[in-house]
Amino acid sequence: MSLTSTLIVLSLALAVAGFANWRERRPRPLGHPPLVPYTAIQMVALVVVILMLAHLVSLLSGQPLTGRLFR
């Protein structure tokens, strides 16, 4: 994945997380639950943001990120 595509995915995930946060905070009338689970969408988008930030660090530093077990 190139730097450009990483930045595009990162910005899209941030936009989706922001949109889901905005939709979750909107007031709803009593008795009308949301049809879309915006909290779950926000969590998935935040996981993608964290992964893209880690990938961005590895692209900019030139060193791949390794886990704790290093195999």
- In angstroms, rounded to a whole number, what is the distance separating the alpha carbons of residues 19 and 26? 11
| pLDDT over 80 at 71, yes or no | no
Residue 64 pLDDT > 70: yes
CA distance 14 to 25: 17
- Alpha-carbon distance of 32 to 64, in angstroms, equals 47
Q: Identify the DSSP state of 62.
A: S
Q: What is the pLDDT of residues 7-52, one digit of tens each?
A: 999 999 999 999 999 999 988 889 888 888 999 999 999 999 999 9
Residue of higher predicted confidence among 47 and 3: 47
Scanning the chain, the segments in alpha helix (DSSP H) are 3-25, 38-61
pLDDT of residue 28: 87
